[in-house]
Amino acid sequence: MPANIWSPIGLSLQVAAYATLIVVILGSLLGKFLARRTFPGKTLLETLFLLPMVMPPTVAGFGLLVILGNEGLGRFFPPGEGILFTQTAAVIASSVVSFPLMYQAAKVGFESIDPELEQVARTLGANAWQTFLYVSLPLARRGLLAGVLLSFARGLGEFGATLMVAGNIPGRTQTVPLAIYNFVESGQNNRAWGLVLCLFTLSFLMMAFIQRLQRKNAT
């Protein structure tokens, strides 16, 4: 493959990896916290968490553009040194759109745990964090792993929100989906096909592994 094809592949993997790390931490903690709790406003809160799953990515991107722009967080940065049109912006965009997948998978995984097992750990002297690390996480590992893979795949394929806040700068913020768009627009279909096949193969393998995990959970 030409060098200008490897660049977006490497950048996409890097952005997706950072975004997945963020959503795994936040999604797992929030999924555990909200798994069995009921309180006024929980439905509204979870609706906000899951909204990026059904909302057009460009709408999420516009919201991030307002938050990160000069009228939002950008005002705290020197001129020309804001978050917009950087790899950080691409990571934030990927995190926002992939968070619902990790949160939902984590919540379902923690809800499937028998509460008596966690209670036994507490009666044996384990505190809340020890119970979470050594009992809850291992028991929910398959659901969490599915969430990790789904989040990573979603981060790799993110287009709309990334374009809005990070732009399409070759070698800097141009991820695989953006590079595919550029190649198609410029008539370089052979290069577009190369990136499409890479993204398709990786996504296919991850989804096949997730299906295998779900079959194991069912049995």
Q: What is the pLDDT of residues 170-215, one digit of tens each?
A: 889 999 999 999 999 999 999 999 999 999 998 899 889 888 877 7
- Rounded Cα distance, 180 and 195, in Å: 7
pTM of the model: 0.90
Does the structural domain 3-218 have CATH classification 1.10.3720.10?
A: yes
What the block records as the tokens of 120 is 């036994």
- Rounded Cα distance, 70 and 4, in Å: 32
What the block records as the tokens of 135 is 């009992």
Each residue of 74-117: pLDDT tens digit? 888 887 778 999 999 999 999 999 999 999 999 999 999 999 99
- Rounded Cα distance, 106 and 89, in Å: 25
For residue 82, give the DSSP letter.
S
What the block records as the tokens of 202 is 């990786």
Alpha helices by DSSP H, listed for 35-86, are: 42-54, 57-68
CA distances to 10, 93, 191, 209 from 188, in Å: 20, 27, 6, 32
Residue 3 has pLDDT above 60, yes or no: no
- Rounded Cα distance, 139 and 56, in Å: 34
